Amino acid sequence: MTMHPGVRAAIVALATALLVAPAGLAHASESSPIELSATPDRQEILAGLPCLPAPPVTLGMTNTGDEAVYADTFLRADRPLELSRAMFSSYVPAGTTVTAPLTVEAPYGTEPGRYDVTLDSAGQDLVVPITVTAPPARAPGDNLLLGEQADPSSTYVTAETAFDPCGAVDGDHAWSTSAAWSSDTFGEFPDTYTVTLPEPAWMNRLDMYTHETQGLSAWDVRVETSDGAWRTVAEVRGNTAAFVSSTFPDVEAAKVEIVALDSVDHGLSRIREIEAYLGGPPPAG
């Protein structure tokens, strides 16, 4: 697993804070038996890095009354925060709590500081403070794709199995639905996996971690340069290895794209992780 120490430290600090943070609570009003809660009651997030979001906040609606009710909670946030939902609605039996996840993100360029997410249900408000901090600066030799915006051509999702579109840029080399990516077009190629950088960056190496036994057998590495033109900087054919490092002349890229042309089983495109670097030798395997 390759991750910038600053990014790793920030994520660990956030996770630790979330484990010990209490739940925020808004008590039931005279007009409604619903009591709102948020766990944790406050959160610290990084600006940018859309594929390394903070853990979700768990929203709660507790029915303190004697009869079941239908309850709605509306959510709003200070700009430019982005919320994964604008509303939480549910049937709530008497004496029970229903929950729902809420992911809060701050786009690149968000000024560090405090912002509020407000929950509103039947006239009662619960405010969840959000502290936005700047993302760690990239250092020489860092993986340039870690946590950046990923846009695959498709992602394998069923009722039982759901891969994450961000799975190939999350810093985890494991093969799992939460830490890898698979296409959803069996036997149909090409598939693409595109990563957009917040600003153009120089690179000369692309490391591919594909599936150990049913990985990619052929692919192109393409980059979009700062002038908007696309260039193919590396081609791999006849591959059966789980790890391949491709080097190429220095290029300044705004986007990096894997064009998957075939897999060992001629079925799906499967990627555990892709990483881009400027300089330095690739890892041993």
Select from 2.60.120.260, 3.40.50.1100, 2.30.30.30, 3.40.640.10 the CATH code of 149-277.
2.60.120.260
Does the pLDDT of residue 147 top 70, yes or no? Answer: yes
Give the pLDDT confidence score for residue 226 in this predicted structure: 84
Percent of the chain with pLDDT over 70: 87
Closest C-alpha among 201, 202, 221 to residue 210: 221
- Distance between CA atoms of 85 and 75, rounded to whole angstroms? 7
Residues of the chain with CATH 2.60.120.260: 149-277
- Distance between CA atoms of 79 and 84, rounded to whole angstroms? 14
- Distance between CA atoms of 1 and 8, rounded to whole angstroms? 11
Give the pLDDT confidence score for residue 123 in this predicted structure: 85
- Scored b (16 or more CB within 10 A) or e, 217-254 reads bbbbbbbbeeeeeeeebbebeebeebbbbbebeebebb
Does the pLDDT of residue 15 top 50, yes or no? Answer: no
Closest C-alpha among 170, 148, 138, 129 to residue 44: 129
Mean pLDDT estimate for the chain: 90
The pTM score is 0.82
Give the pLDDT confidence score for residue 20 in this predicted structure: 40
List, for residues 153-174, the tens digit of each pLDDT value.
Answer: 999 999 899 999 999 999 999 9
List, for residues 25-45, the tens digit of each pLDDT value.
Answer: 555 555 789 999 999 999 999
Give the pLDDT confidence score for residue 58 in this predicted structure: 98
Percent of the chain with pLDDT over 90: 81
Q: In the structure, what pLDDT confidence band is assigned to residue 137 with cuts at 50, 70 and 90?
A: confident
Residues of the chain with CATH 2.60.40.10: 5-133
Q: In the structure, what pLDDT confidence band is assigned to residue 22 with cuts at 50, 70 and 90?
A: low
Give the pLDDT confidence score for residue 23 in this predicted structure: 59
Give mean pLDDT, residues 62-80.
Answer: 96
Does the pLDDT of residue 12 top 80, yes or no? Answer: no
- Scored b (16 or more CB within 10 A) or e, 66-93 reads eeebebebebebeeebeeeeeebebebe
Element (H, E) at 9: helix 5-20
Give the pLDDT confidence score for residue 224 in this predicted structure: 98
Higher pLDDT, 6 or 219: 219
HSE-up (13 A, CA, CB side) for residue 153: 18
- Distance between CA atoms of 119 and 100, rounded to whole angstroms? 13
The CATH architecture annotation of domain 5-133 reads Sandwich (2.60)
Tokens of 199: 């600003």
Closest C-alpha among 130, 127, 147 to residue 138: 147
